[in-house]
């Protein structure tokens, strides 16, 4: 959810009203599951109350546990109960709860809240680790290792091609030095492979000879245009008698 002046999230949020976010998120997840689409809730514990864009700077929020329990946590709890596949962490610092790390690198939020308190057993993914909220405050090696130490399963890199290799080397070094354990990585590996086996029953795309039957059809063009304009109207084809 978001506050009105939040341009960083803007219309990516379902609503500024927690009860609507709660209800719509649950409905979306059910629809995704039915359609065989993996879903991800973001950005925990909540990005809607900050005016700072974490692509550029590290937002610092003064919210305490009572505030998060009353507002921000509610839709995430509902998403977990609705069997969401993944949750993405936010690059926001909450000094009243963790004075050292932003939520995306915080074992308080990931291990204590998500795993222990909320009992979520799905996948946890970082936001893009090259966003300036992190890189202006930590070096890339620290970011990669701390992401895993704090409990994330998946590390997201979007725009800087050299970053995954830097992360890979830093992780291997941390394992060799004992600052990161093989057991911690094994936990994530088993979660990831478990979700893949359960949800990605057909991971390969259909052959092009099959796809071409749909590509470029009038229905396909109408759907693409509807998604582009935000006005999607899908008419069901009458069932054959």
pLDDT at 169: 98
Q: Which helix (H) or strand (E) holds 142?
A: helix 140-149
Question: What is d(CA 17, CA 11) in angstroms, rounded to the nearest whole number?
Answer: 13
**Sequence-ordered list of residues with C-beta below 8 angstroms from that of 52, at least 6 positions apart, any chain:** 8, 58, 59
Catalytic residue, candidates 55, 64, 139, 169: 55
pLDDT at 155: 98
DSSP 214: T
Query: Is 117 known to be catalytic?
Result: no
Question: What is d(CA 93, CA 71) in angstroms, rounded to the nearest whole number?
Answer: 17
- pLDDT tens profile 109-141: 999 999 999 999 999 999 999 999 999 999 999
Catalytic residue, candidates 22, 85, 127, 153: 127
What is the value of pTM for the model shown?
0.80
Query: Is 43 known to be catalytic?
Result: no
Domains of the chain: 10-204 (3.20.20.300), 207-241 (no CATH)
- CB-count burial class (<10 Å; 0-12, 13-18, 19+) for 212: exposed
Give per-10-residue mean pLDDT for the chain (241 aa): 55 72 85 90 83 88 94 92 95 96 97 97 97 96 98 96 97 97 97 92 84 88 83 56 44
Helix (H, G, I), strand (E, B) or coil at 126: strand
């Amino acid at each position: 959810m978001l506050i009105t002046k939040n341009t960083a999230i803007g219309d990516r949020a379902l609503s500024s009203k927690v009860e609507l976010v709660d209800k719509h998120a649950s409905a979306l997840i059910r629809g995704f599951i039915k359609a065989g689409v993996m879903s991800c809730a973001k950005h925990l514990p909540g990005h809607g109350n900050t005016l700072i864009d974490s692509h550029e700077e590290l937002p610092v929020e003064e919210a305490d546990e009572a505030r998060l329990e009353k507002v921000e946590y509610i839709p995430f709890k509902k998403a977990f109960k609705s069997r969401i596949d993944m949750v993405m962490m936010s690059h926001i610092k909450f000094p009243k709860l963790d004075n050292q790390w932003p939520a995306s690198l915080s074992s308080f939020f990931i291990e204590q809240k998500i795993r222990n308190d909320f009992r979520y057993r799905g996948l946890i993914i970082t936001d893009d680790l090259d966003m300036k909220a992190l890189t202006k405050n930590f070096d890339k090696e620290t970011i990669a290792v701390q992401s895993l130490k704090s409990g994330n399963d998946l590390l997201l890199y979007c725009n800087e091609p050299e970053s995954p290799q830097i992360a890979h080397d830093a992780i291997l070094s941390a394992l060799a030095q004992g600052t990161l354990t093989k057991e911690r990585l094994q936990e994530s590996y088993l979660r990831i492979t478990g979700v893949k086996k359960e949800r990605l029953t057909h991971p390969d795309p259909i052959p092009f000879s099959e796809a071409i039957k749909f590509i470029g059809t009038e229905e396909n063009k109408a759907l693409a245009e509807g998604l582009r304009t935000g006005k999607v109207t899908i008419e069901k084809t009458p069932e054959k008698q």
